[in-house]
Amino acid sequence: MDRMLYLAATGATQIMHRQAANTHNLANASTTGFQADLSAARAMPVFGEGHASRVYAMAERPGVDFSRGTLMVTGRELDVAVNGDGWIAVQGADGREAYTRAGDLRVNSAGQLTNGAGHAVLGDAGPLVIPPYESLEIGGDGTVTIRPIGQAPNTLAEVGRIKLVDHVPGQLEKGEDGLLRSRDGNLLPPSVNVSLLNGNLESSNVSMVEAMTNMIELSRSFEMQIKLMKTAEDNDAQSARMMQMS
């Protein structure tokens, strides 16, 4: 019965881990460019005295769902979406280069080009800084062009190019901050094969229907584990009473 209780308690704990991952996906169903976390379970033997005859399922995050979200037309000059496969290079809070598909760009008070999460957008030579401008345009190849303040309408100045990188299956992993980085720590080179769609944003690739269904299934599985723990407790109490009677 102690083994039964251990397995049920372990199962409930692992279901809580999976529920946390599913809830995280659901909470980001409306986050621009969000890539859903995948979850899975694998059998783990229970080691101890005697033969390892019991196993439990351990929840783990095997990877990220790299499918594309839906394109939404916004018409905003600073909104861009990656056309096809590929990533926009940004600078994470740790100062390292990272990658995202969130193209809700803006210029902060310091003139730095960032996305909606506040991550600095990188060019080929580092974070992009935009001088004061009257109009701004982002080309399909990531080129940022402005019309400086006080200049004629036909006076345009190229201030940099957004670093775009190819998507290489299996080379990227997701961090706790939601950004992707190279598994080997190396920086991905800029690619001419990746382009942007101006005036568009890519939605999250999370399916709310699937996430809600998973939440219900996980809740029922958790309740089943709790019932098993109660059954183990009842069996233990019954065994104790039988021992007292003898």
Name the domain count of the chain: 2
Say whether both 92 and 38 belong to one domain: no
Per the domain annotation, does 196 fall within a domain? yes
The answer to whether residue 11 sits within a structural domain is yes
- Please tell me the distance from the alpha carbon of residue 192 to that of residue 144, in angstroms, as a whole number: 15
Residue 198 contacts residue 79 (beta carbons within 8 Å) = yes
Domain that holds residue 85: 76-202
Is residue 70 domain-resident?
no
Same domain, 95 and 182: yes
In a domain, 28, yes or no: yes
Q: Are residues 215 and 194 both part of a single domain?
A: no
- pLDDT at residue 239, rounded to an integer: 75
pTM for this one? 0.81
The per-residue pLDDT for range 78-116, each reduced to its tens digit, is 999 999 899 999 999 999 999 999 999 999 999 999 999
- 213 in a domain, yes or no? yes
Whether residue 53 is found in the same domain as residue 111 = no
Q: To which residue do tokens 């101006």 refer?
A: 198
Percentage of residues in the chain having pLDDT higher than 90: 52
CA distances from 94 to 8, 46, 98, 101, 163 (A): 39, 38, 10, 19, 19
Tell whether 117 and 167 lie within a shared domain.
yes
User: Is residue 230 in some structural domain?
Assistant: yes
- 219 and 195 share one domain: no
Q: Rounded to the nearest 5 degrees, what angle is found at the Cα of 123, between the Cα atoms of 120 and 128? A: 50
Do 60 and 80 sit in the same domain of this protein?
A: no
Which helix (DSSP H) or strand (DSSP E) does residue 240 occupy? helix 208-245
Name the residue among 105, 119, 32 with its Cα closest to residue 69.
32
